[in-house]
């Protein structure tokens, strides 16, 4: 049986060899009202982001009253987009790469840039407290 969309002349529309299903999804995949549920990963993303933020922010910074820590917090969290990440979460090479990348981001956003001395102070602080295994 050939079903023609819209009725009328079969040459006006390409024929449908199989009629469309009555319901596009199985009923158990849909919320009340027929709206499909989002994939499970969509529900887990906010929770995962929250857990990562809590894990990153729950650790205290080492030597929080030192000049290096204060400079790091000032440029890398207070005026920035995120909390200060504890240096022990990565090695020195990671921090070198991340610091250079974030300096570019700060410049692109037009925020106040640290002086060369402040950048070196931040770098020394991060290196002194970085994860020592593997760098």
**Is 55 inside any structural domain?**
no
For residue 99, count other CB atoms closer than 10 A to its CB. 17
42-94 pLDDT per residue, tens? 566 676 676 666 555 555 889 989 999 999 988 888 655 678 889 999 999 99
Mean pLDDT of 105-130: 92
**Is 97 inside any structural domain?**
yes
22-38 pLDDT per residue, tens? 555 455 556 666 676 66
**Is 68 inside any structural domain?**
yes
**Is 34 inside any structural domain?**
no
Instruction: Quickly state the pLDDT bin for 134 (edges 50, 70, 90).
Output: very low
CATH at 106: 1.10.760
Domain of 87 in residue numbering reads as: 62-129
Instruction: Quickly state the pLDDT bin for 133 (edges 50, 70, 90).
Output: very low
Model pLDDT, residue 128: 95
In the chain, the number of structural domains is 1
Nearest CA among 98, 76, 92 for reference residue 124: 92
Model pLDDT, residue 27: 53
Q: Distances from the Cα of 109 to the Cαs of 70, 79, 80, 120, 134, in angstroms?
A: 21, 11, 10, 21, 33
């Amino acid at each position: 049986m050939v079903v023609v969309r819209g009725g009328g002349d079969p040459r006006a529309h390409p024929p449908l060899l199989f009629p469309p299903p009555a319901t596009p999804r199985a009923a158990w995949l849909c919320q009340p009202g027929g709206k499909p549920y989002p994939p499970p990963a969509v529900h887990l993303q906010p929770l995962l982001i929250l857990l990562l933020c809590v894990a990153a922010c729950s650790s205290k910074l080492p030597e929080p009253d030192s000049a290096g820590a204060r400079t790091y917090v000032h440029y890398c969290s207070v005026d920035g987009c995120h909390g200060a990440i504890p240096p022990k979460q990565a090695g020195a090479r990671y921090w070198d790469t991340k610091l250079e990348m974030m300096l570019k981001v700060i410049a692109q956003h037009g925020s106040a840039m640290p002086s060369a001395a402040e950048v070196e102070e931040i770098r020394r602080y991060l290196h002194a407290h970085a994860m020592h295994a593997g760098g």
